[in-house]
Amino acid sequence: MKHFMIKYQFANGTSEDWHREIGRFISALNNDPELKGKIIYRCMKNRDDSSYYHLAAAVDEQAIKTLQQRDFFKHYTEKTRQVAGGDVVVTPIELIAETAPL
Residues in the chain: 102
Segment 1-47, tens digit of pLDDT: 999 999 999 999 999 999 999 999 999 999 999 999 999 999 999 99
Segment 52-89, tens digit of pLDDT: 999 999 999 999 999 999 999 999 999 999 999 999 99
CA 61 to chain centre: 16
In 3D, which of 82, 84, 64 has the Cα closest to residue 73? Answer: 64
H or E segment and range at residue 55: strand 51-58
Question: Do the domain assignments include residue 98?
Answer: no
Question: Do the domain assignments include residue 101?
Answer: no
Question: Do the domain assignments include residue 102?
Answer: no
Question: How far is Cα 9 from Cα 47, in angstroms, rounded to an integer?
Answer: 12
The amino acid at residue 26 is: I
Question: Do the domain assignments include residue 44?
Answer: yes
Question: Do the domain assignments include residue 67?
Answer: yes
Give the CA distances from residue 5 to residues 11, 14, 34, 41, 81, in Å, rounded to whole numbers and listed in that order.
19, 22, 22, 10, 15
- Domain total of the chain: 1
Question: Do the domain assignments include residue 99?
Answer: no
Question: Do the domain assignments include residue 52?
Answer: yes
Range of the domain at 21: 2-93
Q: Which CATH number does the domain housing residue 84 bear?
A: 3.30.70.100
